[in-house]
């Protein structure tokens, strides 16, 4: 193995080829390591080696760099209204969700409301969300603080609400009973 390495080192020193320069009929200048008709040998200065210094490499981290604003932003997020296990009665399926965030949101941070794990709308700076046309039934709500790139910085506890809507089916009308006639 060492012999092979020594041979490669010797070959690299002797591999410094002669460079030839010539001009074609269109006036273009060409360089080659092969001789050509009307080519001139190019004399290279002895000191053609480049000096490259490597800067120390820092370890690569999979974590995104944190800014001073992110380090300070340890948010406390909660849903104020409706409360956990609340029953909401609205035939149109409209209601308001109000959140609370402490401290105030930093620039570039937004609130996102999730219903049953799905974002309800675009992220916003306001902690008040107007929901429209939500289906009746049990739903899980959660509020999250996110950066513009979607990275979640804080989340509220998940709460459950029950949305009731009046049914459209009319109750069955009992059939008139036949009266007995004695006779």
Classify residue 59 by its DSSP letter: P
pLDDT in tens, 7-59: 565 555 555 668 888 888 888 888 888 888 888 888 876 666 667 777 777 66
* 3 state SS of 22: strand
At 3, give phi and psi (nearest 5°): -65, -40
Given the structure tokens 């799905």, which residue do they identify? 118
Residues whose CB falls within 8 Å of the CB of residue 87, separated by 6 or more in sequence, listed in order: 161, 162, 164
pLDDT in tens, 94-135: 999 999 999 999 989 999 999 999 998 889 999 999 999 999
Q: Dihedral, CA atoms, 112, 117, 121, 122, nearest 10 degrees?
A: 50
**Residue 2 class from Cβ within 10 Å (0-12 exposed, 13-18 middle, 19+ buried)?**
exposed
The CB density around residue 21, as the number of other CB atoms within 10 Å, is: 14
pLDDT at residue 71 in the model: 46
Please report the beta strands in 15-119, taking only residues with DSSP state E, as ranges in sequence order. 19-23, 29-32, 40-42, 76-81, 86-89, 95-102, 109-115, 118-119
- When mean pLDDT is compared across 36-45, 80-89, 132-141, 152-161, the lowest value belongs to 36-45
Query: Cis peptide leading into 103, omega within 30 of 0?
Result: yes
pLDDT at residue 41 in the model: 84
Say what the pTM is: 0.53
CATH number of 74-164: 2.60.40.10
Query: Is pLDDT larger for residue 131 or for residue 183?
Result: 131
| Boundaries of every domain in the chain | 74-164
* 3 state SS of 88: strand
Q: What is the Cα–Cα distance from 143 to 126, expressed in whole angstroms?
A: 12
Rounded to 5, what percent of the chain is helix, strand, coil?
10, 35, 55
Given the structure tokens 């959660």, which residue do they identify? 142
Q: What is the Cα–Cα distance from 163 to 139, expressed in whole angstroms?
A: 8
CB 21 within 8 A of CB 29: yes
For residue 24 the two structure tokens come to 């074609």
- Is the predicted pLDDT of residue 173 greater than 60, yes or no? yes
């Amino acid at each position: 193995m060492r012999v092979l390495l020594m041979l490669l080192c010797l070959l690299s020193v002797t591999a410094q080829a002669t460079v030839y320069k010539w001009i074609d009929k269109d006036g273009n200048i060409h360089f080659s390591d092969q001789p050509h008709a009307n080519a001139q040998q190019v004399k290279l200065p002895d000191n053609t080696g480049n000096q490259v210094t490597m800067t120390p490499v820092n370890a690569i981290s999979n974590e995104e760099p944190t800014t001073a604003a992110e380090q300070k932003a340890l948010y406390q997020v909660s849903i104020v209204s409706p409360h956990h296990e609340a029953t909401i009665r609205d035939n149109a399926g409209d209601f308001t969700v109000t959140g609370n965030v402490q401290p105030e949101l930093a620039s570039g941070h937004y609130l996102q409301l999730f219903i049953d794990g799905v974002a309800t709308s675009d992220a916003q700076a306001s902690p008040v969300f107007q929901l429209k046309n939500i289906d009746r039934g049990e739903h899980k709500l959660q509020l999250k603080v996110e950066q513009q790139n979607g990275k979640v910085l804080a989340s509220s506890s998940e709460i459950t609400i029950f949305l009731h809507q009046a049914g459209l089916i009319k109750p069955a009308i009992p059939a008139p009973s036949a009266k007995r006639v004695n006779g």
